[in-house]
């Protein structure tokens, strides 16, 4: 028995379909958008290439997901920068507009939708994302729209050589540097057999490779290198594999899985009292609420970025009084200020124009350290060299900082980390 | 609150890439579930196979784009065969569990470290879409009416996508009118009766699985190409469940059901999401944070699926007598 | 090409730092500390030559084992340890690594490590401890133990799935969330109301039982009375799962949270196996509960009635069993046991809104392997799955361990679709 839809039903379907479309407020356009194709860019359409006179900064930073703990200081850094820029008169005579969106993590499609929203709102510079994995998923989308993709926290070495149309920049140094520092730290502490347990993504694998090079180059031996699945239900098998190799030191390159891995390490007799454990920027966080006292005591870790000066911390607190963590706040601040300066130098807020001046304002010229002073110099027609809070910020041609600072930290009995020292160096020859 | 933004985002989502991808995924599912009564909970696996087929061929192996499409389609057929052999003789709930497991296997394998050189691990692959965008018929710029606008790349994806949707609908319409399609529907209604008429039920089910899977892999191509990147975790079980919601909302066993479902689903979803985000950002709603909007959205999808099945299992277009919801 | 560039960059960068140390100074140098078994080794000669063989400098390790050689500029250097100067009984751990090539960068120190070991005069280092094969068997034992631990948790969850399926025919995709809900009820009692976990756990299990009873009484029962189809209900359960999962995300956020007690306990050694007191107690509770449920099903009136309903609801009803009541009890008990499994999982691992979803497929694998609808089959199947998942990591990368279990599930269905203990008729 075949049921052939009667004509009336077909009509009803069509009516329902068009009704649904209309209900959504749109009307008829674009089931076949080709017909409207030649239409000149509509007046209200995002001005990707031309610029609309207002510098719009879109923050694409983690509010949810694996790196949510990095979100608040990064947002605060951007907000503080925008506030100071606007107090100094804004860019091109108009206040800078900031739009906050969530970058989520790679398990979700949030970042892609956030970018759509940002592009819709005429964003000229996207500040984000925190995770290298997330940035990789949106970099094509952002740069193809002629918008600057400026990350304060991506450290994956892959971005140095990515085909980004000259629109990708970052204020965080590539992990080549962090890996080198961490490896040397391990060697200095005298561990000749080292295990690396890393998160399986571009961040974890990239950093693990650099640590391995550095440790073996300095005479140590990597006895086991395991990448774990961040979504795994438990880590006992991964830890058992490390246990079998019996290392003297473990480099734990992880995000928030750390709260599951540390108890497992302790259980299998690999706690910080038995072997030397090292954290990295992905998991160097305040664990005072997660673990009983003394759990992490003695663990060391590395984190790119200079010390956030006390007055900068006070200013950040005025933006977000709930802040307890400062990771990547200076980098976010610098990224925003640099974008504003580049827009001012280019006399345009368009993404491509900003990108063309970003390297210029970061080096080679009269030094200045805050937006107001730099703006004054620019208005006098001088070439400037912005030295930021995260370091001297001298961009290489690939848009990476060529000099950077890495902090070395150690956990105390309260499971909070405190700085031991800062080291500066050139990222690459 | 920026009402223009809210409504334009909603309309864009309703006709945008999300709607196209889910429409195609749900059309495939419609062939499985709506017409044949196969409870395939592994549609995400077909999308993953398609997306990774093209991405791996182009990005990892450096072969031409069209070969990637062919490989993606072939992989979808192969996946359907592998999936079908152990499961199609089993009861509906076994089939559901096995298909969901198979889709998870695909996801876990493509995200594994061991095969990172091939599939890119948890970050997935990118830099495979240049050839596709190289065929773009639109010159760079923004196209649209009023606040509803797409850039030339998105517009190209949408053009291809909606043509594929239209083609898939046409094929489904013709096929389901044919004797072959009538056998499928008969299998859904009473498998034993069909068997007693001398038809090879297993073979028909397998053909349906392959057919729907191939359409699912088309959705996978678009998913990967529209984002110019592909990641394993986008193909989690949630994708399948969203596709089911889309299908049931629009009406299963109806040619236009999945399409209508996808458009309305995404329109509403983004309307609610953007609306709530704006409301929170402008302090209209103060008891939740922006971070919680995402979870509310998912809760609404779950709730919507429950309510639909209880009160209107045939969806908007469907016929209650034609839904295989009582099979065991 | 990109790889080549990265490698080149890394090579150029191969080093750079030196740590907080009184010896910090401008200029480049190489330095290190010689240690054997934690004791400094002094009087060892280290010589440095430039990349093309020109001698640069020498140093002898001091009483603290430290040595340092200044180098004139950044560049590549060869560092050689003179093995003849090593004290008796101390040798290089790797004899072929007496000379290392290292890169020194502008303005930076570079640490160099020579691994030392105790050895005889011939220079053959004695293995530091144990043999390779004993470490391997220790790992196997550890994995088997972990497998049992995981299998028991899966079994608790699978029991509920199996009984609910047996009595109502529903394949409940929301069962994973019942674990999560139980775990978070305990979390609220534990964290918000400040009850010790030992008190919070039984209370949470009771609340979970109430939640299960209510779910059946006010949701699934009425749906069945409306003659809602089984496939319909299966898809409804997916909606319920999504709703519950994201409700928990909404309420508790996406972070990993621990209970107040028993976090990060120190390991204890039990023969070859490392474990924690809390895991042992958790496993004890799990075994006790499983045995209790098993005995109840076999010997009590209620248990027999449950099995009768599971076998044939119509026949059970006609022989005077109140089927609805049995189903409600099964739901209450299944949810309570699942909640307990969630709490145990949260105690031994950590709480997260996705924790139940992550084991759902393993529970299904256990149930299917044992045979849908048979309580004891679910138990056996779950233990097999748990063991298989953990032990398989000896041969496959740990991140693929779930794949192994799922693949086995599919293979079993190929050769024995009714599962280990299932009956032929059930596969339809």
Whether residues A221 and C94 touch (CB distance < 8 A) is answered with yes
Instruction: Give B39's contacts in chain C (Cβ within 8 Å).
Output: 231, 234
Q: Give me A307's structure tokens.
A: 């010390």
Decide if pLDDT at C178 tops 90.
yes
Contact C197, C186 (CB under 8 A): yes
Q: Do B145 and A17 touch (CB under 8 A)?
A: no
Mean pLDDT score, A321-337: 87
Taking contacts as CB-CB distances below 8 angstroms, the residues of chain A near C150 are 233-234
For residue C399, what pLDDT is reported?
A: 76
The answer to whether the beta carbons of residues A217 and A176 sit under 8 Å apart is no
Of A69, A185, A244, the CB nearest to C139: A244
Residues 11-30 of B with CB under 8 A from A: 11-12, 14-16
Return the pLDDT at C13: 42
Token duo for residue B199: 């038809």
Q: What pLDDT shows up at residue C54?
A: 81
Question: Mean pLDDT, to the nearest integer, of B3-24?
Answer: 90
Note the pLDDT of residue A22: 40
Instruction: Tell me what the mean pLDDT of segment B100-105 comes to.
Output: 91
Residue A224 lies in a domain: yes
The residues pairing with A91 across neighbouring beta strands, listed in sequence order, are: A94
Band of residue B240 on the pLDDT scale cut at 50, 70, 90:
very high
Instruction: Note the maximum CA span of chain B.
Output: 67
Would you state the pLDDT for residue C288? 95
Any chains having at least 3 CB pairs less than 8 A from chain B are: A, C
What's residue A28's pLDDT? 34
pLDDT band at A249 (very low <50, low <70, confident <90, very high): very high
Q: Which one has a higher pLDDT value, A194 or C255?
A: A194
Based on the domain organization, do A198 and A166 belong to the same domain? Answer: no
Identify the pLDDT of residue C28. 75
Least confident of A211-215, A345-349, C14-18, C412-416: C14-18
Q: Looking at residue C3, what is its pLDDT?
A: 56
Chains with 3 or more CB pairs closer than 8 angstroms to A?
Answer: B, C
3-class secondary structure, A302: strand
Q: Strand C268-270 to strand C45-50: parallel, antiparallel, or no bridges (unpaired)?
A: unpaired
Q: Tell me if B265 is assigned to some domain.
A: yes
Is A417 found in the same domain as A352? no
Residues of B in contact with C239 (CB under 8 A): 245, 301-306, 309
**What's residue C423's pLDDT?**
62
d(CA B245, CA B41): 12
CB pairs under 8 A between A and B: 182
**Residue B312 reports pLDDT greater than 50:** yes
User: Within a 10 A sphere around the Cβ of B52, how many other Cβ atoms?
Assistant: 31
Q: Is the same domain home to A182 and A257?
A: yes
Examine the pLDDT at B121 and tell me if it is beyond 60. yes
* C358-413 residue pLDDT tens: 889 999 989 888 877 677 888 889 999 999 998 988 888 877 888 888 888 888 87
Structure tokens given for C15: 């080093």
In chain B, the number of structural domains is 1
On whether residue A40 sits in a domain, the answer given is no
* Residue A223 sits in the same domain as residue A300: yes
Same domain? For A288 and A422 the reply is: yes
Between B98-102, C99-103, C166-170, C291-295, the lowest mean confidence (pLDDT) is in: C99-103
Domain that holds residue B271: 3-322
CA closest to B105 among chain C residues? C403
Q: Say whether pLDDT at A213 is over 60.
A: yes
- CATH number, domain of B257, equals 1.10.3470
The model's confidence at residue C122, banded by pLDDT at 50, 70 and 90, is low
- Distance from the Cα of A230 to chain B's closest Cα (Å) equals 9
Task: Say how far apart CA B87 and CA C410 lie, in whole Å.
Answer: 8
On whether residue A8 sits in a domain, the answer given is no
pLDDT tens track for C67-117: 888 888 777 888 888 888 888 778 887 777 778 888 777 666 778 888 787
> Which of A19-23, A153-157, A412-416, C416-420 is least confident?
A19-23
Q: Does the beta-carbon distance from A137 to B158 stay under 8 Å?
A: no
**What sections of C51-174 are H helices per DSSP?**
132-168
Residue C206 clears pLDDT 60, i.e. is over it: yes
For residue A196, being part of any structural domain is answered with: yes
pLDDT at C158: 92
Of the two residues B107 and B95, the one the predictor is more confident about is B107
Query: Which residues does chain C have within 8 Å of residue B241's beta carbon, measured at their own beta carbons?
Result: 238, 242
Cβ of residue B231 closer than 8 Å to a chain A Cβ: yes
- Per-residue pLDDT band for C6 (boundaries 50, 70, 90) equals low
Contact partners of C by the rule of 3+ C-beta pairs under 8 A?
A, B
Mean pLDDT of B195-202: 91
Is A285 found in the same domain as A149?
no
Query: Of residues C98 and B256, which shows the higher confidence score?
Result: B256
**Sign (positive or negative) of CA dihedral A150, A156, A157, A163:** negative
- Say what the alpha-carbon torsion angle A201, A202, A207, A209 is, to the nearest 10 degrees: 90
Residue A283 lies in a domain: yes
Domain residues for the domain of A109 are 56-172+308-398
Evaluate if residue B320 carries a pLDDT over 80: no
The pLDDT tens digits of the residues spanning A23-62 come to 443 333 333 333 333 333 333 333 344 567 889 999 999 8
A184 and A154 co-located in one domain: no
Domains of chain C: 20-128 (2.60.40.10), 133-419 (1.10.3470)
What long-range pairs does A188-192 form, CB within 8 A, spacing at least 24? A188/C18, A188/C19, A188/C32, A188/C33, A188/C111, A189/A249, A189/A276, A189/A300, A190/C33, A190/C35, A190/C113, A191/A220, A191/A247, A191/A248, A191/A249, A191/A276, A192/A219, A192/A220, A192/A221, A192/A248, A192/C93, A192/C113, A192/C115
Q: Are C204 and C347 in contact (CB under 8 A)?
A: no
pLDDT at A314 over 50: yes
**A52-98: pLDDT as tens digits:** 788 999 999 988 777 777 888 899 999 999 999 999 988 888 899 99
pLDDT at C23: 36
What does the pLDDT average to over C43-68? 83
- Checking if the pLDDT of B325 tops 70, the result is no
| pLDDT beyond 50 at A327 | yes
> Which chain A residue shows the shortest CA-CA distance from C134?
A244
Mean pLDDT throughout C314-327? 90
With beta carbons less than 8 A apart as the criterion, state whether B217 and B50 touch: yes
In a domain? residue A321 = yes
What is the pLDDT, as a whole number, of residue B234? 86
Q: Is residue A39 part of a domain?
A: no
Number of independent structural domains in chain A: 2
Confidence of residue A191 (pLDDT cuts 50, 70, 90): confident
- Residue of C46, C111, C405 to mutate for A, most A C-beta atoms under 10 A: C111
Query: Do the Cβ atoms of B28 and B50 come closer than 8 Å?
Result: no
Helix C323-348 crosses helix C132-168 at what angle (to 10 degrees)?
A: 160
Q: What's the mean pLDDT in B179-192?
A: 90
Residue C251: helix, strand or coil by DSSP?
A: helix
Cα B206 to Cα C415: distance, rounded to the nearest angstrom: 19
**Residue A411 shares a structural domain with residue A271:** yes
pLDDT, one tens digit per residue, over C268-305 is 888 888 888 889 999 999 999 999 998 998 899 999 99
So what's the pLDDT on residue B189?
Answer: 87
Query: In C64-204, which ranges are E strands?
Result: 66-71, 75-81, 90-92, 99-104, 109-111, 116-118
- The single-letter DSSP state of residue A38 is T
Domain of A353, CATH number, reads 3.40.50.2300
pLDDT of residue A17 exceeding 60: no
Nearest CA in chain A to C129: A246
Residue A111 lies in a domain: yes
Instruction: State residue A427's pLDDT score.
Output: 64
Residue B308 lies in a domain: yes
Percent of chain A's residues with pLDDT above 70: 87
Distance from CA of A367 to the nearest CA of B (A): 38
Same structural domain, A358 and A394: yes
B328 occurs within a structural domain: no
Same domain? For A66 and A160 the reply is yes
A389 with A420, same domain: the answer is no
The answer to whether residues A226 and A295 belong to one domain is yes
In a domain, B140, yes or no: yes
Q: Inform me whether the C-beta atom of residue B200 falls under 8 Å from chain A C-beta atoms.
A: no
């Amino acid at each position: 028995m075949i049921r052939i839809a009667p004509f009336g039903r077909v009509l009803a379907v069509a009516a329902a379909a068009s009704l649904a479309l209309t209900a959504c407020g749109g009307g008829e356009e674009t089931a076949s958008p080709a017909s409207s194709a030649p239409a000149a860019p509509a007046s209200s359409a995002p001005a990707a290439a031309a610029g609309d006179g207002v510098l719009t900064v879109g923050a694409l930073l983690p509010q949810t997901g694996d790196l949510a703990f990095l979100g608040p200081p990064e947002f605060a850094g951007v907000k503080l920068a925008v506030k100071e820029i606007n107090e100094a008169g804004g860019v091109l005579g108009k206040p800078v507009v900031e739009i906050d969106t969530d970058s989520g993590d790679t398990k979700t499609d949030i970042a892609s939708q956030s970018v759509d929203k940002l592009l819709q709102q005429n964003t000229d510079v996207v500040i984000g994302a925190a995770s290298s994995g997330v940035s990789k998923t949106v970099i094509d989308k952002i740069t193809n729209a002629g918008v600057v993709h400026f990350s304060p926290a991506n450290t994956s070495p892959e971005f140095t050589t990515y085909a980004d149309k000259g629109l990708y920049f970052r204020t965080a140094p590539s992990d080549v540097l962090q890996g080198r520092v961490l490896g040397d730290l391990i060697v200095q502490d005298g561990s000749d057999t080292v295990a690396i347990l890393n998160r399986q993504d571009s961040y974890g694998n990239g950093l693990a490779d650099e640590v391995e090079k550095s440790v073996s180059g300095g005479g140590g031996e990597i006895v086991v290198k395991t990448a774990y699945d961040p979504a795994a239900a438990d880590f006992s098998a991964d830890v058992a594999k490390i246990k079998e190799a019996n290392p003297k030191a473990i480099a734990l390159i992880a995000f928030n899985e750390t709260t599951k891995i540390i108890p497992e390490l302790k259980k299998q007799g690999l706690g910080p009292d038995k072997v030397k454990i090292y954290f990295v920027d992905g998991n160097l966080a305040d664990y005072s609420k997660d673990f009983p006292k003394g759990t992490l005591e003695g663990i060391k870790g590395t984190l790119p970025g200079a010390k956030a000066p006390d007055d900068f911390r006070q200013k950040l607190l005025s933006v977000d009084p709930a802040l307890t963590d400062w990771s990547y706040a200076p980098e976010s601040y610098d990224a925003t200020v640099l974008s504003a300066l580049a827009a001012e130098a280019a006399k345009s807020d368009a993404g491509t124009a900003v990108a063309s001046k970003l390297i210029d304002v970061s080096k080679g010229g009269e030094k200045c350290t805050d937006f107001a002073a730099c703006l004054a110099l620019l208005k006098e027609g001088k070439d400037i060299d912005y030295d930021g809070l995260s370091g001297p910020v001298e961009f290489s041609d690939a848009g990476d900082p060529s000099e950077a600072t890495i902090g070395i930290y150690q956990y105390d009995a309260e499971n909070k980390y405190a700085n031991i020292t800062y080291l500066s160096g050139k990222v690459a020859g | 609150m920026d009402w223009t933004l809210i409504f334009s985002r909603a309309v864009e989502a309703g006709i945008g890439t999300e709607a196209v991808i889910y429409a195609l995924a749900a059309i495939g599912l419609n062939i499985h579930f709506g017409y044949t009564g196969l409870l395939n909970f592994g549609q995400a696996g077909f999308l993953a196979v398609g997306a990774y087929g093209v991405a791996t061929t182009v990005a990892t192996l450096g072969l031409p784009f069209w070969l990637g499409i062919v490989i993606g389609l072939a992989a979808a057929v192969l996946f359907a065969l592998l999936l079908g052999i152990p499961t199609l003789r089993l009861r509906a709930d076994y089939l559901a569990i096995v298909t969901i497991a198979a889709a998870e296997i695909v996801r876990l394998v493509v995200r594994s470290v061991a095969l990172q050189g091939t599939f890119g691990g948890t970050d997935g692959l990118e830099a495979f879409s240049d050839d596709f965008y190289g065929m773009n018929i639109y010159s760079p710029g923004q196209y649209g009416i009023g606040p509803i606008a797409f850039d030339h790349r998105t517009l190209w994806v949408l053009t291809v996508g909606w043509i594929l949707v239209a083609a898939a609908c046409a094929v489904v319409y013709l096929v389901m009118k044919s004797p072959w399609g009538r056998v499928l529907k008969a299998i859904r209604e009473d498998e034993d009766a069909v068997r007693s008429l001398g038809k090879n039920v297993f073979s028909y089910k397998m053909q349906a699985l392959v057919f729907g899977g191939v359409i699912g892999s088309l959705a996978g191509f678009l998913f990967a190409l529209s984002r110019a990147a592909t990641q394993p975790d986008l193909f989690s079980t949630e994708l399948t469940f969203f596709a089911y919601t889309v299908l049931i909302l629009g009406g299963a066993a109806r040619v236009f059901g999945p399409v209508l479902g996808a458009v309305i689903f995404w329109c509403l979803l983004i309307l609610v999401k953007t609306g709530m985000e704006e409301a929170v950002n402008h302090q209209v709603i103060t008891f939740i944070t922006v971070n919680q909007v995402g979870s509310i959205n998912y809760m609404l999808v779950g709730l919507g699926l429950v309510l639909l099945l209880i009160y209107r299992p045939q969806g908007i277009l469907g016929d209650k007598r034609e839904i295989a919801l009582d099979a065991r | 090409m990109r790889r080549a560039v990265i490698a080149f960059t890394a090579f150029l960068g191969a080093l750079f730092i030196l740590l907080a140390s009184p010896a910090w100074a401008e200029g480049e140098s190489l330095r290190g500390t010689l240690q054997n078994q934690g004791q400094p080794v002094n009087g060892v000669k280290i010589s440095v030559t430039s990349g093309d063989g020109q001698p640069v400098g020498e140093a002898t390790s001091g009483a603290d084992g430290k040595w340092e050689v200044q180098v004139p500029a950044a560049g590549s250097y060869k560092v050689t340890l003179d093995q003849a100067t090593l004290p008796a009984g101390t040798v290089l751990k790797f004899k072929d690594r007496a000379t290392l090539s290292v890169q020194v960068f502008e303005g930076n120190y570079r640490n160099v490590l020579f691994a030392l070991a105790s050895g005889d005069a011939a220079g053959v280092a004695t293995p530091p401890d144990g043999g390779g094969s004993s470490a391997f068997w220790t790992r196997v034992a550890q994995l088997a133990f972990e497998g049992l631990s995981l299998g028991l948790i899966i079994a608790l969850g699978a029991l509920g799935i199996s009984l609910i399926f047996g009595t109502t025919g529903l394949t409940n995709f929301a069962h994973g969330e019942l674990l999560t809900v139980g775990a978070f009820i305990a979390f609220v009692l534990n964290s918000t109301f400040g009850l010790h976990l030992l008190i919070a756990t039984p209370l949470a299990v009771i609340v979970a039982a109430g939640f299960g009873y209510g779910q059946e009484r006010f949701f699934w029962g009425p749906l069945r009375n409306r003659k809602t189809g089984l496939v319909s209900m299966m898809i409804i359960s997916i909606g319920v799962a999504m709703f519950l999962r994201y409700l928990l995300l909404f309420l508790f956020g996406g972070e990993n949270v621990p209970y107040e007690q028993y976090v990060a306990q120190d390991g204890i050694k039990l023969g070859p196996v490392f474990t924690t007191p809390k895991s042992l107690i958790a496993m004890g509770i799990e075994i006790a509960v499983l045995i209790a449920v098993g005995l109840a099903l076999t010997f009590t009136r209620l248990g027999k009635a449950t099995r009768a309903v599971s076998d044939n609801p119509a026949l059970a009803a006609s022989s005077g069993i109140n089927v609805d009541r049995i189903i409600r009890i099964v739901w209450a008990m299944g949810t309570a046991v699942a909640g307990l499994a969630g709490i145990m999982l949260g105690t031994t691992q950590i709480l997260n809104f996705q924790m139940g979803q992550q084991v759902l497929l393993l529970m299904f694998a256990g149930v299917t392997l044992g045979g849908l609808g048979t309580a004891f089959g679910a138990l056996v199947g779950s233990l097999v799955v748990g063991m298989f998942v953990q032990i398989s990591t000896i041969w496959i990368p740990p991140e693929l361990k779930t794949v192994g279990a799922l693949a086995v599930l599919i293979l079993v269905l190929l050769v024995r679709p009714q599962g280990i203990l299932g009956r032929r008729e059930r596969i339809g």
